[in-house]
Structure 1
């Protein structure tokens, strides 16, 4: 007789084929849902790496250009394979706006046998970058030494990364009808796998040179600073204003502010006045600038500003970014 209730046999431990198929089906569904999201996340991280690399090269190149300009040794465009080539008149960056920034007229390409000397003593020397599998092109204005933009790409994408399909100047503005320049086209750059930095960023760098400000001691009671600059800089402005003191010249007050959009925040000193007098309604003048006013300090707590500051105080911009 067989053991067990009612003479029935018990099934040995394990899963039936139907149960296994159900589990496999659930795993397949979960993979199908999550895999595209993982791919998108990986591509987004890769794009961030490429754009950051382009930004690093942009910064180094601009520093190099500034040094060469100071020494009167700006690179002169030569045949391919040297320090830069003149851009054809038809080569107009898609993110260039006439009157905003300086249009590039030269490009320097580090790719294959093409390299240039003025980046040799940097972390992005042509030889080092080529060994790393990377290539880049720097677009700049040879008259002013201003870098306009940088493209960076890697022909060999590495493990689980796509190889770049970008080629310069063939893909100067577009790749297969996809615009490549500017932050708004970040997703488009994922297709050819190329990083980019410049355009509006370059214009912002140039605009810092045109910042103007004046210090006013109004009625000997309020210390104010009137700032005049391009409106495009308002979203990224942080600076220090040092006002000369007649009572303690060695320790003149320094006020640090950050301006973002229409919001002004005081960084230091902590006891300074938080200004509410911002003239954002002032219309841009013919040079494209607008101005606003910051109140730095007011008379109070037993002191009079005219005892600290001259009747016509002077100041300097200590930092700007």
Structure 2
């Protein structure tokens, strides 16, 4: 395993982060525990979860993933070996069963306390805002369109002050963002600098061979301000394994069970890009999944690549990507495809 540190801290984290969102829906608790056991044996010390998980978001399974992790901590006694990240759910039609008042002070406090209880721990290493309260471009929206009817009012300072109280109480150590855009990142940094409030140290956004929109603005913010990317969906919802090519519907796969999860990866341009990346990988004796993950692992703004799996076979292949260094020839091939089919899956 390779390691780095969370920006602006001395906390060492593995370059591969174990994603957990299927535990409690597609995966049983026993399977989640098996994945954690194996990941730790391979040197992974960084887990990411959320109060929303497991997915798809349903009242019956809300918080189930955190509960599974908490039970593993209790069983193994390994809490102190893990850097733990979780998130508060942002506002949206599919999260009303969790909370209804966005990032209001009472919602953040409630979310932290409930996560701590489910996770059976006294502290969270990295606490993240799952997505903006504002109407902005995320989850399949490529471009920003201003909504004049939006009711949101600037509350960056208020949110940070609430998080500051949680830091000072010892409930959380550091804070980060998810599904955020450059304007939002810089506003949070502005409030932190001007009012001596907690600094956002990471941003968890989609990033893969099919979606490199992070490079359009957030990458510069990341490099100049020291905001580490925790890329999610590095395999494009599993499509960059190639398992859906040719119209295949693998049994028990997320895209088979929940087609909406991979809807944005089904365009003609996206399928063509996947086919071309698959051919490139094959030419160089690589699996498509490992080539895709190795590309993300090696980006200069990547702090830790969030991988997820529903089978142990997938997990082993994904973790092994850390041992792959892409050749100059492979990188040229990737850039050629990207220049001809840029960001087909927003």
Alignment TM-score, normalising by the size of structure 1: 0.28
* Between structures 1 and 2, the one with greater helix share: 2
- The higher-RCO structure (CA 8 Å, 6+ apart) is 2
* Between structures 1 and 2, the one with greater strand share: 1
